[in-house]
């Protein structure tokens, strides 16, 4: 958060462009789970990834936590993209629904969209789809918006 705090004079979408799209200090979780932001605009972000066997669960499919993390990032960054200079956020809750099993080697895209944002809360939704359009999971999230002190 220190890096983003140093960018608090920028809008949220400007911060995301610097930290993810230009790969300057992208979130460590994105590197750990091997996903990347490929698009960002106010109210919308896209992450892409291709899962490997390294993220499998004991039953032989991609772990739900991996999918939920992509969806959490998509929802949260959709809210982040709407922040004004001097604002920050944190996730209050996320609900994830798994629609089908995902296996290694299937490229996916998590698209997050703002539903509504106010002074104190942001609401977002995201879907995780294969490049062929198959729906794997969806999520909704509520984030607390606050002033950086």
**Sequential DSSP letters for 13-26:** HHHHIIIIIT-SS-
Q: What is the DSSP letter of 84?
A: P
Q: What is the pLDDT of residue 22?
A: 65
Two tokens, residue 74: 């998509």
- d(CA 86, CA 36) in angstroms, rounded, equals 25
Cβ–Cβ under 8 Å, residues 87 and 79:
no
Confidence of residue 143 (pLDDT cuts 50, 70, 90): very high
Confidence of residue 23 (pLDDT cuts 50, 70, 90): low
Per-residue pLDDT for 136 more than 50?
A: yes
CATH number of 2-147: 3.10.129.10
Whether residue 80 contacts residue 15, with contact meaning beta carbons closer than 8 Å, is answered with yes
- Residue 20's alpha-carbon distances to 45, 69, 77, in angstroms, are 11, 16, 10
Per-residue tokens: 116? 């509504």
Averaged pLDDT for residues 122-142: 98
At residue 21, the pLDDT reads: 65
pLDDT at 81 over 70: yes
Q: Are the beta carbons of 24 and 18 closer than 8 angstroms? A: yes
**Most confident range, picked from 18-22, 35-39, 109-113:** 109-113
Mean pLDDT of 107-129: 98
Identify the band that residue 1 occupies on the pLDDT scale cut at 50, 70 and 90: very low
Note the pLDDT of residue 50: 98
């Amino acid at each position: 958060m220190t890096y983003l705090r140093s960018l608090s004079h920028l809008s949220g979408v400007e911060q995301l462009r610097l930290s993810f799209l230009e790969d300057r200090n992208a979130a460590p979780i994105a590197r750990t789970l091997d996903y990347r932001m490929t698009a960002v605009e106010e109210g919308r972000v896209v992450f892409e990834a291709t899962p490997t066997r390294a993220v499998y669960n004991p039953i032989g499919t991609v772990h739900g936590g991996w999918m939920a993390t992509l969806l959490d990032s998509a929802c949260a960054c959709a809210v982040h993209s709407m922040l004004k200079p001097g604002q920050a956020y944190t996730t209050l809750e996320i609900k994830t629904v798994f629609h089908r099993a995902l296996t290694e080697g299937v490229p996916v895209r998590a698209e997050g969209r703002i539903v509504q944002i106010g002074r104190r809360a942001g609401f977002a939704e995201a879907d995780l789809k294969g490049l062929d359009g198959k729906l794997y999971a969806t999520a909704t999230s509520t984030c607390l918006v606050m002033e950086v002190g």
